[in-house]
Structure 1
Amino acid sequence: MNRLRKLHIRALAITIMAMLAATAQAAVSFTVQAPRQVVEGNKFNVTFVLENAEGSGFVAPEVGGAVKIYGPALSTSYSSSWVNGKTSKSSSQEYTMIYKASRAGKCTVGSASITVGGQRMTTKPFTVEVLPPDQAEARERQQRSQVQYDDPSTQSADKAVGANDLFVRIEMSKPRVYEQQAVVCTIKLYTKYQVSQFIPTLQPSFDGFLIEEIPMQPSLNNVEHVNGQNYMVAVLKKCLLYPQQSGKLTITSGNYDVNVVQYEQFRTPFGTMQQPVERKLQVKSNQATINILPLPEPRPSSFTGAVGKFNVTTTLKPASLKTYQAATFSYVISGSGNIKYIKAPSVTFPSQFDVYDPKNNVSVNAGGGDMSGTVTIDYTFIPQYAGDFDIPAGEFTYFDPDAGRYETIPVAGRHLTVAKGEGTPSNHYRLKNMDIRHIKTGDLHQQHAQHYMVDGWSYWLWYLLPLLAMAGLMAYYRKQIKERANVSLMRTKRASKVATKRLKNARALAARGDRTAFYAELLTAAWGYLSDKLTIPVSELSKDNIATELEAYGVDQSLRERTLRLLDDAEFAQYAPELASQPMDQVLDEAASVIDSLEKVKKAKQPTS
């Protein structure tokens, strides 16, 4: 029996030695764990962790801006695992110290060190942001009633959620800007409670602005000190606004449904317990007003609406030109400002060239307070004749809002040498050089005939037709002059045409699945159509005015409600595309249906006074 026991002990020893031999040694590290932000007067832990080694001679760091209350306290842990015949071990030593933040600002924690295997290991220094305390903390009674964002015991369910406990604020980066100058609009949620649900029910309206969204993901991961109190903050929306008119513009307030988490407290034999409960609130944001300065007059003739700071270069491809072969002359505009909305400069090409409409290639990035990048404007042309030609020099003018003046960049001209290529002139030039024909020789088979044209009816018809054509042309011309003098009529006539073009662009964006750009294009089409159809100036364009003008136009109530609902749904989807459940094709069909229905409405006669 003793011999058998010895054999078992020997086998166990061999197994343990094999396991130790197969054990993978983990990497040794010495790191620190600490919060990024604390509030003045609060305690916080700093833990130094030595992993996979045994250390000695721990030296605590020097800490500025905080007072040490306790530590270092040492705790040790070991763990091992055996997977697929291999054993791995890990261990850790944790040195925990407790500090109290003594003043607002930056708390600097220096390097800690420890000896491992005869060598010193150190941690990297770091800083902790110390926020000012709530002003109410100075008084004990107020402290008991004040809600603290980091203290669930103050967030009891028997307390009403006050206006200073949760609110939404619209903030503008500048109080005044010029037309077309960018201003950053930020919509923030400030709360002392955890938020379980946030739904916008009425988004702010940005009438009078072009909007460029700055992509971001809202999250309550920051803390800000506002009016003597600390809040968790989430950025709900951030965008660049480009005002399209001067004067005072207002961003209307938005409405939101918010669910916050409070705690019911009750006593048990084991002490006081807390149970989370939700409370639904309705929150309304503030309004934001900004003063828009008009661009100085007179405006240079070469100014096409560029506001910011830009550089301009030109390119020509290919370098060697031949007749009947396409070439491209390009304006390359780079810089920051309203670069996405710059109109194509006017370029004068030789009359012997076929020239096509310019095309824009935009590559911009929205961030840093403005859009920056490059826009390339391509002018495609086809030379019809060989020879030497010139594209005259030009100018590019932009307005610099920082300097408050127009800046002009000279654009050098181009001398073009066109060689003979293969092909034939386009139809536009095919009849040129055909005014002189070869003289026909030989028997012409001429015959002598004599008759009086005045005796035939065709003779008098040639006099009568020009008179009738002249009378008809004059009547048509007078009608055109009268219609063009009526600005309201001209806007109404082109409203459907412009909207149809915009909806076609929106359908292409829907096919690509770009929801944000789709709804932005759809809104532009709807607002522009209603502005032209109802002859409402952009500065007065609002849903209330649209409803009033639709009723005066003779639109029935059902169609008016469909029109306003289309605007509301599109604005909501643009603001929160991830919450929009309606398919884009269905929204697009509804928009086309609304515009088609409005086109069929005959304008009601206005009563005469």
Structure 2
Amino acid sequence: MAARVLPLALILVGLLAGLGGPLSVAQSSLQVEARVDAHTIGSEDRLTYAIRVRGAALEEISTPEPPATSNLVLLDTTPSTEQYIMGEDSDTERAVVFAWRYRPMRPGAAQLRSTTVRIQNQELTTGAIDVDVSSRPNRAGQPPSGMPFHITEREAESPTGLVSSDDLFIEVTPADAEVFVGEQLGVEYRLYYRPGVRLRQSRLADAWEAPGFWREELTVESQPRSEDVDAAYRYLVIKRVATFPTQTGMLQIDPLRVETEATPGFQSARGRPRGAHRQFEEILLSSGTVDVQANPLPEGAPGSFQGAVGRFEWTRNGIPDRVEVGSALTFQIAITGDGNLYSIEPPPLNLPDHVDVFDPEVEVDLQREGTTLKGTRTFTYTVVPRSPTEFVIPEMEWSYFDPEAESYVTHEASAARVRVEPGPERPSETVADADPPPLQDHTSSNEIPWGVIIAGLGVAGLIAGGWGYGLWSSLWAVLVAGVKSEDDDTPPVAREVAVADIQKTQQHLDAAQRALRDNDPKPFYRALEQAVVGLVAQRTGHSARGMTHRMLDEELRAHDVDFSVRETAQELLKACDQAQFSPSEPSYDSMLAALDAAHTLVLHLDATLPTEPLASR
């Protein structure tokens, strides 16, 4: 389990304006800005994209969605989050940074499009950012440049000694701790100061690290507080983090070091007189380290334990008792509590072969207020039966370790029986605006160099826009024409049937191309599925409506279709189902690559599967 840590800058400024007065937060207008850590990257580099929101606290901001991209792949859908205070003298304002990491798909132009940030009842939109991807790595042998909002560091000194360590200091809680591996440990940094002390130009002196921990930022208050035990000081919580040790042994969290300029004001420990000229001096503040002993979990974990540590409630919503063939049945499992929710894996779901099971959609709702990270992680399962055969969703178990009770806890959900009904017949869909041009007839005895075509799928994403579709159409015509030998003795009726099959398939691919131009994923993937399943069903004498993915694979295997081709067909059909039943939409690049793969797949199936007329036609 890798810690999600980015080298983010922490800026602290302007605690007080006047004797013992409260911290004033600047009432500036909201601002949203997007940046990347580099505008030119290598094909093997990683890119950090960040959105900074100024003028709002973390709890007021809805976690933004990552921007749509071209030629970039998102590495983690959940952003890293940091917050800090910025400003000068008595006017301060909070800022929050959300950051994601991407990898490039190929050399060439890339773009992160605009995205919208919602702050209470307001919405602000970022601008698009262009990035160039070169064929050579730009950061070879160097670490990632990191946070786009990085603040340049500089060395601090305290030449005049106007402010003493009794006037201004940082304390960390806890000083040390002993926990189980994976157990949540809250770490809080407080800046204590005497009333009247003023700061300016504050910044993080060096990177704050917690090696061996996963960490999550928590909300901090914007107003200073008084210590009940000693009213001579006020304090501000400058950083609050939930940490989770990812390994056993003695671990250490680095001190938090802050550079600032300070003046003692009127109530310094040095007793400066009222009305004296204020002189600022540079000061380096540092907290202590935090030593943590991380102990291994006890033995005896149940089989359903996947590593969750904390205190959780586990619920599964009701499952419908019937569903139609080809329709999606969905249900949810929600896990609520305090702990590292990101580390929780979905409970496995095993169903019969005639039921397609998709990877569950995952949603995380975190509550960062207070000293403990809490929230809910929800898994939405989608299953689609392919034949009218009853099936059972089996009993499901999920376990976690409770560090307070030092014991394992198991939650259970009973089995549920689901009846599958045939459902209404759907009329055939005519999807072509006009009849496609006739294709050259051919026999199944000639072979296409499928290994070369499969290798070509790796560069399929390089084809973009309408000209890419035309290129594939031309390639199809050339390849199909090439597989017909001069001494072809295929019966004319068989050739006519083969051409009719391909024309129907071409109509579905034409519909997919139109849906791609309209950026409409659901009809796009539905047309691709109809093209592939329809061709196989027609050539093998089956109904396309009743053909499951498993049946299609069995037919391809029975006709000696290469394993890599069968695997490509299954992956394409799985992508079609996911796009139709998933709430999230695929990218344009993914759709373009799927269309290219479907064209290539159809070429091979047309040349491999039998063309003799069938009685069922």
Q: Normalising TM by the smaller chain, what interval? A: 0.3 to 0.5
Higher strand share: 1
TM-score normalised by the chain length of structure 1: 0.42
Higher helix share: 1
Structure with max Cα Rg:
1
